[in-house]
Structure 1
Amino acid sequence: MPNIILINPSPNAQATGLNESSVWPPVGLASIAAVLVAQGYATCLIDNNLERMSVDEVLERTPKDALLIGVSLNSFAYDSVRKLCELFWTKRPGTVVVLGGPLPSVAPELVLDNFACNGVVRGEGEESLLHLVRNIVARRPLFEGVSGAAWKDQATGTLCANPVKRITDLDALPFPAYHLLPPLSRYKSRSRKRPIAPLVTSRGCAHGCSFCSKDIFQRKVTFHSPHSVLSQIDWLIKEFGVRQLDILDDNFAMDRKRMEAILDGIIERGYNLAINLNVGIRSEGLDENIFQKMKKAGVFKVAFGIESADPGVLELCNKKLNIAVLSRAIAMARRMGFIVYGFFIIGLPGETEEAFRRTMRFAKDVKLDIANFCLAVPFVGTELYRQVERNGKFLVDTRRDLNQGFYSGAVFFEYPGFTKEDILRRYKAAYKHFYTPWKQLVQLSKMRSVSELLWYMETGFLVLRNMVFASAKSK
């Protein structure tokens, strides 16, 4: 019987505007579980983001004598996790309940004030959860020496917090415990081959964009070595029959020498994989030679985090982007037959009508296959949040109970120079003017599998549904 339960929660029941067409296994929780299993602790991993059970059904899967229940928490699961914690607190009184993930990491006091739990863990969880479990077993003070732990002093109610210690040797971690999850075949993204497995080859981000939090990782990046990455790929293929890799970290192309070593290793193995560079990579350092290696390794899609093509908007959000270099990289990628994505954010500070039109002209001129337009969300802990606090007006409390996602048609704030109505109009216009009927036909012609076609149709339906929601909100 497992005595440690790790839970990836479902989003809030009323949440709209989330990307439901792509669902990956919870890599972070699976990595934590792997560390605990390697040390002999019976561990259960519940992915309710996939299974969508009720809180009562989740409770039924947690044994009454569990030592620890750990729940990952992001802003979109605020309400569902709060209900879960209340249930655990009353129905599992002898069990330690801790929260980790994005929201506890950047706003521990907010979480401790609003959730029934013993405490939170900020930052990476592998070593912290192991230390915490050992404290429970040895009957030591619960959070003694636990990296990143934060809790309320029972006598005074004051916040107590341990410093966060980064994991510097990612290669020393065991591979994620995917055997504790539902079959990989149940997860989905834009797939040319199945089953798919996510691959995270680094942690952190060296850049300072205002819409991402830097409170924990402090712009410091840690990497898995090429040998470690290739060993994990070998293991995924051997143990799970994986045929497609979705690379989910922003830093895959950051160190060219490392990236080439990984690509060369995949090519030498002759695995005939499909590889999806799913998140936005940087365009610096990309040339025809590296694109050729990507092609040989099986990469079929590349994505770039662009956000805006307007220099003023890029400066205000501290996005260091050379538009000329990016344009050349996109042109090369298209010429060599890759599916090319661009990620854009509508409604960032400084976005004027001209800035918006400049971004739309860029998206069309470089002939992106897919342009992903999302609305700016000022998450707590980000510089964007602080910018809105100083100079703007919140329309949605993004600290808690966030029921609307990037694609919901909800405008989260107003800023000098634009109103809610301006942003909704631009958001609808972006999709309407980019996705012409001809563009849709061209994209359909690039589908290479039934699952890829089904993904495209589901994504299109979600975009259309969100446009209807956006229209309703604007009335």
Structure 2
Amino acid sequence: MHDVVLVSPFNEQLGRFKRFVPRSVPIGIGILAGFLRSKGHSVRIVDNELVDLDRASITEILNGCNRPRVVGISVMTANVASGYRIARLVKSVDKDAVIVFGGIHATVMPDEVLRSGCVDFVVKGEGEYTFLELLNQIKGGNIDKDRLENIGFIEPADGRIVYAKPSERTVNVDDVPIFPYDMYDPTRYNLGFILTSRGCPFDCIFCSQRVITKRRYRYISSERVIAELDYLINTLKQPNITFFDDYFTGNRERVFELCELIKKRGFHKKASFGVQTRGDSIDRPLMKAMREANFGSLMFGVETASENLMLLINKKETVKENVDAIRLGKDMGFAVEATFIFGFPTETFDDRLKALRLAQEIGLDRARFNNATPYPGTAMYEMVRDRLKVEPMWANFSSAGAVTGGLFKRSPLPYVPEGSTDKELEGTVLLANLLFYLNWTNLKNLFNPKQSGSGKWFEVSNKDMKSLKTLIELTLLGGTVFFRVFYYLIASSMCRKFFFKGIRQ
């Protein structure tokens, strides 16, 4: 029997792409699960991406949970609608179950969450100690709200929303146990990942992660990292490991130290590694050390080809720094990926075309183009909130919405900069992804199951390629993309212009 169930809701906005988006482990609830387990609690993780949650399955899950039943649900804006649906299902099965929401959306929009009618508590910010104290009190049968921190709830007596005092505690990441890989089925997930730091010292206007970690940048000790790598490589036999750190190269000396320790332990002979980095924090000496330790892939958040937009989005680096680092990485034998975002305030058609051309010209192995999404909690949200289009339950708030949309079910993009139209922005995002891969080498990289990296967004295994069902689904997906491209080329003169200028590269 379990003390608590932690749920990761389904992202309903991927459409036909869901089948081919690499399945990622819900890391946030995994970290929390490992922490709670280390404190003596029995935890069950439920990933709605893998498990259909209806009344029957919810009943089965709750039957395996000690009373009072506690269900924690981690929500982002993109999947909060699914989170509410799950919470209501739980309450319909057991009205006395305690529902706790955490994560980015719950932290930023706690009033909305508590007014939903299906949530008992909100945990704001980092959840380890806050959730542990709440869980201990619930299981002890006596909730002393004066002792709680970073918690929101509705006062039963008068219906007021009440927030406990904020916590002064900062989580020491070395006190958090090694990630509980054993709680995930290795046949259903790629477990080749590690998280060795928390937070990021920067404050880009489009990033909502800082809502949880603020700008505190903390990294796990090198000894702990090596112990976790040893488990991944020698116990789980993972041949490719991606560091999921937001800013892996944030501490230069630490990277050199990790590279030396990886070589000393012989890990570089058994596995390859990939990281996300920035153009202003990596250079030839660092790349040389990383290549010697068998780091094979780098991902850059380039975002734009406009230096003016770089200033606007507060990246604190330049386009030139990214381009120079990418070219150097290619020269030194790395596979290099990059992400771009279309639709920032003041952005023009020419800015988007320039970004596509940059991606085509600098030798990237993979690229992804997303639509700018002003998620609650970001500086961009405050900047453009008067021009936002918000559908019920934030249904149109997806940074991949321009790519993953269906043929007939259309939702407006949440934000379109002045001078552009919804059709033009959505069409150019879709076309940029298509045009980048109208190149045999890039197309092979997209479909290559051996290529790993934190930016990989499309995946089909060799085994799946031999399946009739997979081939049918790929055909349907290809047909959907083809007809959407055809629609934009017919309906928008700017999309036609973008296509013909982009295809000439």
Please give the TM-score of this superposition, normalised by the length of structure 2: 0.83
Flag the 1:43–1:433 CA change in 2: closer, same or farther, 3 A: closer
Q: Which moved more, 1:150-159 or 1:7-16?
A: 7-16
Flag the 1:470–1:346 CA change in 2: closer, same or farther, 3 A: farther
Q: Give the match for residue 107 of structure 1.
A: 109
1:225-255: per-residue Cα shift (whole Å, max 9, x none)? 2122112212333443333212112121111
Residue number among 228, 233, 238 corresponding to 2:224 in the alignment: 228
The code of the aligned residue for 1:235 comes to Y
Distance 2:223 2:336 in 1: 28
1:387 aligns with 2:383: yes
Q: Which runs of 5+ in 1 are unaligned?
A: 189-195
Flag the 1:434–1:401 CA change in 2: closer, same or farther, 3 A: closer
Distance 1:75 1:206 in 2: 23
Flag the 1:428–1:129 CA change in 2: closer, same or farther, 3 A: closer
In the TM superposition, what is the alpha-carbon distance from 1:353 to its structure 2 partner?
Answer: 1.8
In the TM superposition, what is the alpha-carbon distance from 1:169 to its structure 2 partner?
Answer: 1.3
Q: Give the match for residue 208 of structure 1.
A: 203
Would the aligned equivalents of 1:55 and 1:83 in 2 still touch at CA under 8 Å?
Answer: no
Q: Which runs of 5+ in 2 are unaligned?
A: 406-411, 492-505
Would the aligned equivalents of 2:373 and 2:397 in 1 still touch at CA under 8 Å?
Answer: no
Would the aligned equivalents of 2:366 and 2:442 in 1 still touch at CA under 8 Å?
Answer: no
Q: Give the match for residue 270 of structure 1.
A: 266
Flag the 1:381–1:466 CA change in 2: closer, same or farther, 3 A: farther
Q: Give the match for residue 413 of structure 1.
A: 415
Would the aligned equivalents of 2:431 and 2:485 in 1 still touch at CA under 8 Å?
Answer: no
Distance 1:415 1:324 in 2: 25
Please give the TM-score of this superposition, normalised by the length of structure 1: 0.88
Compare the two structures and name the one with the higher helix fraction. 2
Q: Give the match for residue 249 of structure 1.
A: 245
Alignment of 1:367-446 (within 5 A): 367-390=363-386, 393-397=387-391, 400-402=394-396, 406=400, 407-409=403-405, 411-440=413-442, 443=445
Q: Give the match for residue 302 of structure 1.
A: 298
Residue number among 177, 180, 184 corresponding to 2:180 in the alignment: 177
In the TM superposition, what is the alpha-carbon distance from 1:116 to its structure 2 partner?
Answer: 0.2
Q: Give the match for residue 37 of structure 2.
A: 37
1:152-177: per-residue Cα shift (whole Å, max 9, x none)? 22223222223144534110111122
The aligned length equals 464
Q: Secondary structure at the match of 1:414?
A: coil
Would the aligned equivalents of 1:17 and 1:466 in 2 still touch at CA under 8 Å?
Answer: no
1:124-161: per-residue Cα shift (whole Å, max 9, x none)? 12111211121113333254433321112222322222
Flag the 1:14–1:438 CA change in 2: closer, same or farther, 3 A: closer
RMSD (Å), alpha carbons? 3.1
Would the aligned equivalents of 1:21 and 1:455 in 2 still touch at CA under 8 Å?
Answer: no
The code of the aligned residue for 2:30 comes to A
In the TM superposition, what is the alpha-carbon distance from 1:341 to its structure 2 partner?
Answer: 0.5
Distance 1:470 1:62 in 2: 43
Percent identity between matched residues is 25
Distance 1:445 1:137 in 2: 48
The code of the aligned residue for 1:234 comes to D
Q: Give the match for residue 259 of structure 1.
A: 255
The code of the aligned residue for 1:134 comes to N
In the TM superposition, what is the alpha-carbon distance from 1:185 to its structure 2 partner?
Answer: 3.4
Q: Give the match for residue 193 of structure 2.
A: 198
Q: Which moved more, 1:299-308 or 1:113-122?
A: 113-122
Distance 1:170 1:273 in 2: 27
Would the aligned equivalents of 1:208 and 1:319 in 2 still touch at CA under 8 Å?
Answer: yes
Would the aligned equivalents of 1:345 and 1:375 in 2 still touch at CA under 8 Å?
Answer: yes
The code of the aligned residue for 1:298 comes to N
Q: Which moved more, 1:364-373 or 1:461-470?
A: 461-470
Distance 1:320 1:252 in 2: 16
In the TM superposition, what is the alpha-carbon distance from 1:207 to its structure 2 partner?
Answer: 1.1
Distance 1:347 1:17 in 2: 22
In the TM superposition, what is the alpha-carbon distance from 1:308 to its structure 2 partner?
Answer: 0.4
Q: Give the match for residue 467 of structure 1.
A: 481
The code of the aligned residue for 2:114 comes to L
Q: Which moved more, 1:199-208 or 1:62-71?
A: 62-71
1:308-355: per-residue Cα shift (whole Å, max 9, x none)? 011222222222222222222111111122111110001111211221
Flag the 1:177–1:264 CA change in 2: closer, same or farther, 3 A: same
Distance 2:282 2:19 in 1: 28
Q: Which moved more, 1:247-256 or 1:457-466?
A: 457-466
Alignment of 1:356-375 (within 5 A): 356-375=352-371
The code of the aligned residue for 1:161 comes to Y
The code of the aligned residue for 1:128 comes to T
Q: Give the match for residue 158 of structure 2.
A: 156
